[in-house]
């Protein structure tokens, strides 16, 4: 199968590209390298250094004629907050429309669309120990330009699919971790690892007791592999179905490095801790997928993959992961 990946030089897109290539598929990557990097590109894939808003995208897809387009191009926050809405709309809406128009012209059979995650459902305060578990049909309440543009993007994907007859799968991701580059990482666990490995205190922003759903990158890549032929015209949560706090992540990493350092906590909200877990029952049914990598293993794999991070003795590390980390996440 021939697959085009927009944003294929980024963290998520590059892992998906590798999964596709390892499975024997023909892959081409479209990326302007604003957020991604050439080092993340798999040499087995054909690379087009192109912005998704560029009119030449139509020529690329018309020439390549992929069976599937996996849309993972994303605009990361930069500059002043007041500028985010326009930038997000320009990439996530105008850029997406350019991709969809090119898909129609190139007779693409299916589009896989990477949407938002638990933040699409708004801020849901914790009430005691109660944690909100959201299903895909829950009311959406996007509160940031990023989430608003992603909800709009979902609607455009469904509209184009209905009008022009191609299939789609929309994937709503939990917070994805497993990044190895602290300079570009979005998930705070990478920062914790990088700092504690150097015996320095990490800075944690937001509510450290807020409970969210987190999913390891390898499970995300595997879900995308299954979505090539399954999940027809479905919107699915790719999540662990469990909730963990930032405090638990920090404690687990600190235990790994046997560090007694405390984080520097910077709160950017007056709102109390929130909680949201994404129900993944539908993804299990539609894709035949389930998360396979737990939090302790995911953190261990992240550390092992980070260049320049001193790894602990394997036997000692196994003891920590099984006894200490499981206790932290209990």
- pLDDT tens sequence across 56-113: 999 999 999 999 999 999 987 666 666 788 889 999 999 999 999 999 999 999 999 9
Give the integer Cα–Cα distance in Å for 10 and 31: 8
Strand partners, 264: 203
Residue 273 has pLDDT above 70, yes or no: no
pLDDT of residue 225: 98
Residue that the structure tokens 């995650």 belong to: 117
User: Which overall architecture, per CATH, does domain 179-213+243-276+294-328 show?
Assistant: Alpha-Beta Complex (3.90)
Mean pLDDT within 311-327: 50
Residue 329 has pLDDT above 60, yes or no: no
pLDDT of residue 278: 96
Rounded (5°) CA angle 228-230-232 = 105
Confidence class for position 319, pLDDT limits 50, 70, 90? very low
Confidence class for position 326, pLDDT limits 50, 70, 90? low
Helix, strand or coil, per DSSP, at residue 116: coil
Taking the chain, what is the end-to-end CA distance rounded to the nearest angstrom? 42
Q: What is the CATH number of domain 2-122+134-176+214-238?
A: 3.40.50.720
Higher-pLDDT residue of 41, 87: 41
Does this chain's domain 2-122+134-176+214-238 share its CATH topology with 179-213+243-276+294-328? no
Confidence class for position 314, pLDDT limits 50, 70, 90? very low
Give the integer Cα–Cα distance in Å for 105 and 137: 31
Confidence class for position 22, pLDDT limits 50, 70, 90? very high
Domain ranges in the chain are 2-122+134-176+214-238, 179-213+243-276+294-328
Q: What is the pTM of this model?
A: 0.91
Higher-pLDDT residue of 55, 125: 55
* Other Cβ atoms within 10 Å of 233 Cβ, number: 15
Tokens of 176: 């994805």
How do residues 164-195 score in pLDDT, each as one tens digit? 999 999 999 999 999 999 888 989 999 999 99
pLDDT of residue 61: 98
The Cβ-side half-sphere exposure at 68, using a 13 Å CA radius, reads 24
Give the integer Cα–Cα distance in Å for 269 and 207: 8
H or E segment and range at residue 8: none
Rg over alpha carbons for the chain, rounded to the nearest Å, is 20
pLDDT of residue 198: 94
């Amino acid at each position: 199968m021939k697959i085009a990946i927009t944003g294929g030089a980024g963290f998520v897109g590059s892992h998906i590209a590798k999964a596709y290539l390892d499975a024997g598929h023909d892959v081409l990557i479209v990326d302007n390298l604003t957020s991604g990097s050439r080092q993340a590109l798999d040499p087995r894939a054909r690379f087009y250094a192109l912005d998704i808003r560029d009119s030449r995208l139509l020529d690329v897809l018309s020439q390549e004629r992929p069976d599937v387009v996996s849309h993972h191009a994303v605009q990361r926050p930069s500059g002043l907050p007041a500028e985010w809405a326009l930038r997000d709309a320009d990439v996530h809406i105008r850029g997406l429309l350019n991709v969809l128009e090119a898909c129609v012209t190139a007779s693409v059979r299916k589009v896989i669309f990477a949407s938002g995650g638990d933040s699409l459902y708004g801020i849901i305060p914790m009430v005691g120990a109660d944690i909100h578990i959201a299903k895909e049909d829950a009311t959406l309440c996007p509160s940031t330009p990023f989430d608003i543009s992603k909800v709009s993007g979902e609607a455009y994907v469904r509209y184009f699919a209905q009008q022009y007859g191609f299939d789609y799968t929309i994937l709503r991701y939990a917070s994805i971790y497993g990044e190895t580059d602290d300079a570009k990482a979005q998930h705070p666990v990478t920062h914790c690892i990088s700092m504690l490995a150097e015996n320095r205190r990490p800075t944690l922003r937001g509510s450290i007791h807020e409970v969210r759903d987190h999913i390891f990158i390898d499970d995300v890549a595997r879900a995308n592999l299954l979505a090539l032929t399954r999940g027809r015209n479905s919107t699915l949560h790719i999540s662990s179905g469990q909730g963990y706090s930032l405090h638990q992540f920090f404690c687990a990493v600190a235990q790994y490095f046997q560090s007694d350092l405390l984080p520097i906590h910077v709160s950017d909200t007056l709102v109390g801790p929130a909680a949201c877990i994404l129900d993944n029952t539908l993804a299990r049914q539609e894709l035949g997928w389930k998360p396979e990598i737990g939090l302790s293993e995911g953190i261990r794999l992240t550390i092992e993959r980070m260049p320049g991070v001193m790894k602990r003795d394997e036997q000692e590390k196994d003891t920590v992961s099984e006894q200490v980390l499981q206790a932290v996440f209990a």
